[in-house]
Chain A
Amino acid sequence: MIEQLPILNLVLLLTTALMIPFTQKISFKTTKLVGFTVLLTVLVSTLFILLHVQSEGAFYYHLGGYPSTIGIEFYVSILSAFFTLFVIALGTLIYVYSTRDIEHDVYAQDYGRYYTLLFILLFSMLGIVYTNDLFNTYVFMEILSITTCSIISIKRSKKNYTAAFRYLMLNEVGSLSYLFGVALIYMVTGYLNIDLAAESIQQVWHLYPANIVIALGFMIIGVSIKAAIFPFHIWLPDAHSTAPSASSALLSSIVVKVYIIIMIKVLLRLIGIDILEALNIPVFLTIIAASGMLIGSIFALGQKDLKRMLGYSSIAQIGYIVLGISLMSSLGLTAALFHIVSHGMMKAALFLSAGAFIFLRNQRAINGFNGLGYQMPISMAVFSIAGLGMIGIPGTSGFISKFNLGVAILDANQWFLLVILIMSGVLNAMYYLPIMINAFLKDNPEKNRVMQFEKLPKVMLVPIVVLGLMIVLVGLFPNSIMSYIEAAVAMLLA
């Protein structure tokens, strides 16, 4: 029965998305409740899958009962079980938040459409993480990028249309580039299944090194465009800053990470470390990661709009993840996978609390935060926790990931990367700290320093607080997550 859960999760999410257009006659509150129940069900079932995989080991699922040589296959390993749980857990929190925030951002007639898109988005992300088939990954990627584009443009303003169009064009280039890579791999191996293709690549790569390099180049560039890895990031700040706040959180904390999971699968499960090092791929990854870490932060320093700043900060943080991958060691990968989780939580907390400022005060400009800590103490506190996590202060999950990354860099004997890591940390502090200092230590324009209770609606406040608590808890007890991540890394490197 457990073997059926992955496909049932997908079917449940897709069916919910399709049923929403029929619910126009029922009050929207009921629809939202049903959606929440569905997400909770999927959350529980992903949790079951994770526990099952942990005790019984990974399992395969063949769609239609066809063997893996011709059919589509799901591979539910500890990696996919853990990251689907991560996607759905954050997705549920953001869903709860969006149920109120959406009133501020989206026209009433688009509510249903927004949730249809949200569920298809979650559906395609789960599919990407579960699937063990290169072409099936491409299909889910297309679904994901088209829904992302619509969820950006749902606000119906000129800015959103521009951002969404730019997103669509660049991501289409990315998708096709990935597809071209898949075609070249298929040409060499004759398989689309990752396991089978990996086996034949191991045997024949000496004969076709150029083919493998070109295929890998196309695939890495395709995924990099979608994951906004520097220098392919130009769509991200516009898209993430104009989208409704809940969607920005979703895009920045989960969607971008899913593409990095594709990259990890392609690099480590399809090609394997030995071939990558023989072909000199890690050096290129290190260069783009290191430059992204610095340049994302430098751009973020110059921003005047809070959400744009958070967007550029994402580019820098994705650089950290890619740096961890490029070290090609078990320590580096552990740091990278841990940072996917920890950055997901921190960026979601930052975007959701930024959405709270916009919801209550219509405050987007970075220099307008004076004294906001007195009017919105809870969301500002969570914003500060997440911001401190981005800088890497002990006690937050960000510290653990930076610490692990530092250890991995030292283990690889590349001290100049450590310098870049520290410089990027200092730059992070330079743009996150002033906001916190202004909010808590400066007077607001009305000279009103009276502490108020937060006026934010409860459904918006609860996800923010939960995320803040999770950041601190993971920072204090990292081993709760680390055991899963280490098992996943052991699986990837085996």
Chain B
Amino acid sequence: MDDIILRTISRLIIPFIEIYGVFIILHGHVSPGGGFSGGAILGTSLILYTLVFGVEKAQKKFSHKVSDIAESGGILWFILIGLVGIFVTGYFLTNINAGFPIGEPGLLLSAGMIPLLMIGIGIKVASTMITLFHTVIEEAHHGSA
């Protein structure tokens, strides 16, 4: 898909999509959205990149190795935060009682561990979407070759 309009427009638009994704991930606890929807938007930006510039270039931006780390890392981060609760209060995934700062309700820095969990979920969802898309494309390439 070698088209100058497509390439220029995508180059312009992808950073904004990514910022919007990060915004939704970080504001999961105060506004609609959260880790899953924000991660999906982040993933979509790289899918758009793959569509316009091809898999080879996209693989350089986001290789299988990175996706392995991101996918396992997202859940491991979640588990790690959950374990804090076990050590402090004796219950897995305890929020405020485990010492996470409650902040001022309604502001960005609030709700204790929820924003931290959302970051983990966002990373996991984004990398899963990209990996799924890349895997489907690679299988199609192998099939035709």
Contacts and interface: CB of A to CB of B under 8 A. Distances in A.
Interface stretch (B3-11, B14-22, B39-47, B75-83): B75-83
Contact of B79 (A4, A15, A21): A15
Contact of A21 (B68, B86, B91, B92): B68
Nearest to A64: B93
Given A21-B68, A63-B93, A7 B75 contact: no
A432 to B, nearest CB: 41
Contact of B75 (A8, A14, A62, A63): A14
B38 interface: no
B134 to A, nearest CB: 16
A19 interface: yes
A21 B93 CA distance: 25
Contacts of A61: 91
Contacts of A14: 75, 79
Nearest to B76: A18
A432 B38 CA distance: 56
A22 B92 contact: no
Interface string A7-20: 11001001100110
Instruction: Say what secondary structure dominates the interface of chain B.
Output: helix
Given A7-B86, A15-B79, A22 B93 contact: no
A18 B75 contact: yes
Given A4-B90, A21-B68, A22-B68, A64 B75 contact: no
B135 interface: no
A65 B79 contact: no
B92 A63 contact: yes
Contacts of A15: 76, 79
B94 interface: yes
B95 interface: yes
Contacts of A11: 79, 82-83, 92
B31 interface: no
B72 A65 contact: no
B34 interface: no
Interface in A52-99: 61-65
Tier of interface size on chain A: 10 to 19
Contacts of B72: 18-19, 21-22
B68 A64 contact: no
B76 A64 contact: no
A89 B45 CA distance: 45
B97 interface: yes
A62 B76 contact: no
A8 B79 CA distance: 10
B28 interface: no
A64 B95 contact: yes
Contacts of B90: 3-4, 65
A258 to B, nearest CB: 22
B92 A7 contact: yes
Interface in B70-117: 71-72, 75-76, 79, 82-83, 85-86, 89-95, 97
Contacts of A3: 90
A4 B86 contact: yes
B113 to A, nearest CB: 10
Interface string B46-74: 00000000000000000000001101100
Contact of A65 (B75, B83, B94): B94
B76 A65 contact: no
A64 B85 contact: yes
B92 A64 contact: yes
A38 to B, nearest CB: 14
A61 B86 CA distance: 12
A477 to B, nearest CB: 38
A109 B39 CA distance: 28
Contacts of B69: 22
A65 B91 contact: yes
Contacts of A65: 85, 89-91, 94, 97
Contact of A64 (B71, B79, B83, B91): B91
A74 to B, nearest CB: 9
Contacts of A4: 86, 90
Contacts of A63: 91-93
Given A21-B68, A64-B85, 9 more contacts: A3-B90, A4-B90, A7-B86, A18-B72, A18-B76, A63-B92, A63-B93, A64-B93, A64-B94
Interface of B: 68-69, 71-72, 75-76, 79, 82-83, 85-86, 89-95, 97
30 contacts: A3-B90, A4-B86, A4-B90, A7-B86, A7-B92, A8-B86, A11-B79, A11-B82, A11-B83, A14-B75, A14-B79, A15-B76, A18-B72, A18-B75, A18-B76, A19-B72, A21-B68, A21-B72, A22-B68, A22-B69, A61-B91, A63-B91, A63-B92, A63-B93, A64-B91, A64-B93, A64-B95, A65-B89, A65-B90, A65-B94
